Amino acid sequence: MIDPTVRSQFNYPTDLIYLNTGTLGLCPKSAIDAIKAAIDEGEANPGTHLQHDERWAQVKAQAARVVNATPGEIAFTRNTTEGANIVCNGLPFSPGDEIITTNHEHIGNILPWLARAKRDQLAIKVFDLAPSPEEILARIANLLTPNTRALSIPHVSCADGRVLPVQAIGAWARERDLWYFVDGAQAPGMVPVDIRAIDCHAYATSTHKWLLGPKGTGLLYVREDALDLISPTCVGAFSCADAVDPRAANFAFVPSAQRYEYGTLSGALIAGLGAAFTFLDDIGFDSIHSHDLTLANQFRDGLQKLDADILTPRPTHSAITTFRLPNIPYADLQSYLMNEHRIRVRGIYEAGLNAIRISPHLYNTAEEIDLALKAIEAAKKL
């Protein structure tokens, strides 16, 4: 387990048990200090913007190492949703084309695909997640037709925390020449990510969750050979390789994922993201992964003793656990835990689950998990 003193590196109230990293992670003090210092630096040197400078390149290299990509395949975004919009609006679909996805999608990912489908007469085909990887692949295969063009699949379900067989799906998609996008909002920083092994065309994540980056930061990976496949739909000064003549019909995009970084972005937030990566590196991603799973297993064992309905399937679970108590609506239980016990969790309405999700991370302790279980036990007696 991670040293409990790591909790002192975060600013949130000492009486709060925060079990909602799946929605928003907490920034370490070092990241907040880096943001403030970068703002001061920029304001003390008018005319500089701290964008695409040496620090920018260093942080992009850090990001690439986290997911096993190259820096040129990484674009900085604001969140997973922005990455999903870039991909689904940039792919060259035609009327009648079909996209396969799941019933566990977060609104931030599925809505861009639905909007594109409505605009361009595409078809979104949805399968219900299954407990086993083999059955998931079988359900995807059952939806395949000659019109299928793409898959949009979550790495980890935001609804119940199961880890999908993204590598096996990638191999299946490549054999059929399908475009493959992975919603990685809930993966980097919690579970190991090897984008090379997944073999997807694009992968998006929010670094303000498990990677503890500033709110409003994210990553978009686009595989090098897919850069010209996924056309940038929003472009700006940093998208092109050279100066642009307004009278010229042709111009060249920069030969990297930087083409998707349109307009001025916050160099200060990127500095904070780099500090967050350093913080996590110093602790060790393997240690964090082990710590989070240990807490999740402790919580799951406690729920079983309380006869709760555990929705997160084994053995494909992550650090996220989703459960429900009979006869207690999720909104009531969520409010009770926060108002009476100062425990922050998230209610899950996705896929009609009517459940509660807990997502512990490196700043949580075994003692906090015990307190959460006692609070849930108390809720059963109301």
> Same domain for 82 and 213?
yes
pLDDT band at 128 (very low <50, low <70, confident <90, very high): very high
Q: What angle do CA 371, 373, 377 make, to 5 degrees?
A: 115
Q: Which CATH number does the domain housing residue 320 bear?
A: 3.90.1150.10
- pLDDT band at residue 244, thresholds of 50, 70 and 90? confident
**Within a domain: residue 179?**
yes
Q: What digits encode the pLDDT tens for the residues 311-350?
A: 999 888 899 999 999 889 999 999 999 999 999 999 998 8
Q: Are 308 and 254 found together in one domain?
A: no
| CATH number of the domain encompassing residue 93 | 3.40.640.10
Q: Is the pLDDT of residue 18 over 90?
A: yes
Domain count, the chain: 2
> 251 and 113 in one domain?
yes
pLDDT given for residue 50 in this prediction: 66
pLDDT at 324: 95
Identify the pLDDT of residue 250: 78
Chosen domain end from 281, 311, 335: 281
In the predicted structure, residue 47 carries a pLDDT above the cut 90: no
Domain membership of residue 243 (yes or no) is yes
Of 281, 307, 338, which residue constitutes the final position of a domain?
Answer: 281
Per the domain annotation, does 291 fall within a domain? yes
Boundaries of domain holding 132: 29-281
What are 80-107's pLDDT values in tens digits? 999 999 999 999 999 999 999 999 999 9
Tell me whether residue 242 is in a domain. Answer: yes
111 shares its domain with 229: yes
108, 134: one domain: yes
Same domain, 195 and 309: no
- My answer on whether 62 and 165 are in the same domain is yes
**Res 68 pLDDT > 90:** yes
Q: What percent of the chain is predicted at pLDDT more than 70?
A: 98
264 within some domain: yes
364 lies in the same domain as 269: no
**Same-domain check for residues 288 and 274:** no
pLDDT score of 3: 85
Quote the mean pLDDT of the chain: 94
pLDDT tens for 191-221 read 999 999 999 999 999 999 999 999 999 999 9
Of the two residues 7 and 246, the one the predictor is more confident about is 7
Instruction: Tell me, yes or no, whether 357 lies in a domain.
Output: yes
Q: Do 234 and 297 lie in a common domain?
A: no
Question: For the whole prediction, is pTM greater than 0.85?
Answer: yes
Domain end, chosen from 230, 253, 281, is at 281
Is residue 185 assigned to a domain? yes
**Higher per-residue pLDDT: 237 or 92:** 92
Q: Are 296 and 179 found together in one domain?
A: no
Residue 24 counted as domain residue: no
